[in-house]
Structure 1
Amino acid sequence: MVVGMAFAGVGIYLVVNVIAGLVALRTGSPVGIAIVAGLLALGSLGGGLALILTRKPQNKGLGMGLMIGWALTSIISAGYCTGLNPELYR
């Protein structure tokens, strides 16, 4: 159950990241990109931690999946999709 919810969390994060990324790139401003990157990090890492702290197995898996999704996206995109590497936006 926990592993399945972790995979679901990764999938949920990827869908949210694509939508938020399109919105951020549509704004075209560095401030808009920074705001979206901050919201994505806060939502995935903070939300994931909050879900883990509820101590319910389903919530733990989903929270870990959100965090794993953020980390995988950061690694695979070299920080472009999560705002960790702002030099790529120039």
Structure 2
Amino acid sequence: MAHTIKGKNKLIARVRRIKGQAEALERALTSEEDCNAVLQQIAAIRGAVNGLMMEVLEGHVRDHLASGEPTPQRDADLETVVTALRSYMK
């Protein structure tokens, strides 16, 4: 997985932020915070995980599925797939 090696530091930073968010959620549950605060934290974690998933998935598509000689049609098709994935992941 070359794309995860090239972007390793960036991906690890994202994972560490997610870890911090999960720890904040645990503290919120332990201290019996308001449901709204807990739900907001869960939504933030979900968004962060989806962002991480999209970054790794896009790298995979670009590096593995679209390898070979670039052509205008392939590049356009690749952008269409990535745009659809980004829309779906929101």
**How does the TM-score come out when normalised to structure 2?**
0.47
Q: Relative CO higher for 1 or 2, CA cutoff 8 Å, sep ≥ 6? A: 1
**How does the TM-score come out when normalised to structure 1?**
0.47
